[in-house]
């Protein structure tokens, strides 16, 4: 999953043009003439964690706590890479995106092979929106629909199976700092 910032929602045509340039740039950077065939193949076949894992908990409204080990994508390059090219992720893992400021976030699934549930989180750690069962390998926009500071990606269907819903609270070391 990749995130990008688009302040002017009404400029849909311009977003798509900008999106195409961004994707072309990422493709050239990763797979351009400077990257050997072996490097390209390794990136696609064995993408690993982009950061060390940290513990994250979700407490649902029934006070049940679900534990995850998450990678933190807190820099533009890490957010751009996201879970691209991953072929497997256990149900106890995920990726936590931390954005520079609270804003409406738009994401897409280009080069993301796993179907995901994307949990959008406000500054207090409260879940404000869940995009369930996102479609892999598309440029369809997945929006937070309201300002968020973070997004958590987990395997598709997991939020429904665990009873995770809007209003549930995320517990992670980044949230006390953000309040």
Q: What CATH code is carried by the domain that includes residue 138?
A: 2.60.120.1140
Give yes or no: residues 23 and 57 share one domain.
no
Average pLDDT (52-73) is: 94
Q: How far apart are CA 155 and CA 136, in angstroms?
A: 11
Residue 32 lies in a domain: yes
Mean pLDDT of the chain: 81
What is d(CA 61, CA 167) in angstroms, rounded to the nearest whole number?
7
More confident residue, 29 or 10: 29
Instruction: Identify which of 35, 47, 69 has the alpha carbon closest to the alpha carbon of residue 1.
Output: 47
Overall average pLDDT of the 49-55 stretch: 83
Please tell me the total count of domains within the chain. Answer: 2
pLDDT at 33 over 80: no
Q: Judge if 13 and 77 occupy the same domain.
A: no
**Within-domain flag for 1:** no
Dihedral through CA 63, CA 64, CA 69, CA 74, nearest 10?
Answer: -30
Strands 106-108 and 2-4: antiparallel
Domain residues for 29? Answer: 7-46
- 31-35, 129-133, 157-161, 165-169: the lowest-pLDDT one: 31-35
For 91: left if phi > 0, alpha if psi spans -120 to 50, otherwise beta; the answer is alpha
Q: What is the pLDDT of residue 93?
A: 96
Q: Residue 95, CB half-sphere, CA atoms under 13 Å: how many?
A: 30
Contact 139, 106 (CB under 8 A): no
Q: Is 142 in the same domain as 164? A: yes
Pair 126, 148 in one domain: yes
Residue 133 has a pLDDT of: 97
- Where does the pLDDT of residue 7 fall: very low under 50, low under 70, confident under 90, or very high at 90 and above? very low
103 falls within a domain: yes
Same structural domain for residues 70 and 146? yes
24 and 68 together in one domain: no
- Minimum mean pLDDT among 9-18, 90-99, 115-124, 138-147: which range? 9-18
Under DSSP, is residue 39 helix (H, G, I), strand (E, B) or coil?
helix
Q: pLDDT tens, 67-115?
A: 999 999 999 988 988 999 999 999 999 999 999 999 999 999 999 999 9
| pLDDT on residue 52 | 81
Q: What is the Cα Rg of the chain in Å? A: 16
Per-residue pLDDT at 47: 61
Instruction: Give the model's pLDDT for residue 19.
Output: 44
Q: Tell me the average pLDDT across 128-141.
A: 96
Give the mean model confidence (pLDDT) for residues 135-162.
Answer: 96
Kindly state the tokens that stand for 7. Answer: 């302040």
pLDDT at 37: 52
Taking the C-alpha atoms of residue 128 and residue 169, their distance in angstroms, rounded to an integer, is 10
SS3 content of the chain, % helix, strand, coil (to 5): 25, 30, 40
């Amino acid at each position: 999953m990749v995130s990008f910032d688009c302040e002017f929602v009404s400029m849909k045509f311009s977003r798509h043009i900008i999106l195409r340039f961004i994707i072309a740039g990422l493709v050239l950077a990763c797979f351009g003439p400077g990257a050997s065939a072996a490097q390209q193949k390794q990136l696609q076949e064995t993408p690993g964690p982009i950061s060390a894992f940290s513990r994250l908990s979700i407490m649902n409204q029934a006070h049940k706590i679900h534990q995850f080990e998450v990678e933190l994508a807190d820099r533009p390059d890490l957010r751009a890479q996201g879970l691209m090219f991953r072929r497997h992720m256990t149900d106890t893992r995920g990726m936590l995106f931390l954005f520079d400021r609270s804003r409406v976030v738009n994401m897409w699934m280009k080069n993301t092979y796993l179907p995901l549930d994307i949990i959008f989180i406000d500054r207090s750690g409260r879940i404000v929106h869940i995009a369930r069962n996102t479609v892999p390998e598309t440029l369809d926009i997945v929006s937070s629909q309201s300002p968020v500071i973070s997004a958590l990606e987990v395997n598709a269907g997991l939020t429904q199976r665990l009873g995770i819903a809007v209003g549930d609270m995320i517990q992670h070391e980044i949230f006390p700092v953000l309040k």
